[in-house]
Amino acid sequence: MTEFTPIGVIHTPFTDKKGMPIQPAGAAGVQGTVELLPEYAPGLQDLDGFSHIILLYRFHESRGYDLRVVPFLDTVKHGVFATRAPRRPNPIGLSVVRLIGIEGNRLTVENVDMLDGTPLLDIKPYVPAFDTQTDVRTGWLEEAGRRAVDARSDGRFGGK
């Protein structure tokens, strides 16, 4: 069994899964804070030189999973690993957010698309030379992905 201990918590304006953005693209300009446990604050050294960071977190309101799901951007079932649906065997999410500032153990970020109180597992710097890919295919999301900016959670994955 692999266990992860949260290193902090993500605070956002979203207290109900229904109606919240489903991806950072749909949360443009929405600010939140990342509060690290004080003992992890030294790990933030030099992070302020990055404009964007990757947050890895636990979908803490997600219970159970289905291997085939109807994702928010479609009306037919797909394998859960071909989606970013929150109900997964390991309920881990990731979001690329803009880093606005760091004060002590608190980061101000924007483009947040996660529920308030989300447990933070890790932070990584976003590096285009490492993270941007070319010659990309996006499968069933080729057309549907364009709707992510306006799409909102409709509660189909349970919870509040």
Look at residue 23 in the predicted model and tell me its pLDDT: 74
Mean pLDDT, each 10-residue run in order, the chain (160 residues):
94 88 79 98 98 96 90 86 90 95 98 95 95 83 62 60
Query: ∠ CA 21-61-125 to the nearest 5 degrees?
Result: 60
- Residue 62 resides in a domain: yes
What is the four-CA torsion angle of 63, 67, 75, 113, rounded to 10 degrees? 50
Look at residue 63 in the predicted model and tell me its pLDDT: 87
What CATH number has the domain bearing residue 122? 2.40.30.70
Biggest CA pair distance of the chain: 46
- Residue 160 resides in a domain: no
- Residue 155 resides in a domain: no
Look at residue 50 in the predicted model and tell me its pLDDT: 98
- Residue 33 resides in a domain: yes
Look at residue 152 in the predicted model and tell me its pLDDT: 65
Domain extent, residue 21, equals 8-149
Supply the pTM of this predicted model: 0.86
Q: How many domains in the chain?
A: 1
- Residue 118 resides in a domain: yes
- Residue 116 resides in a domain: yes
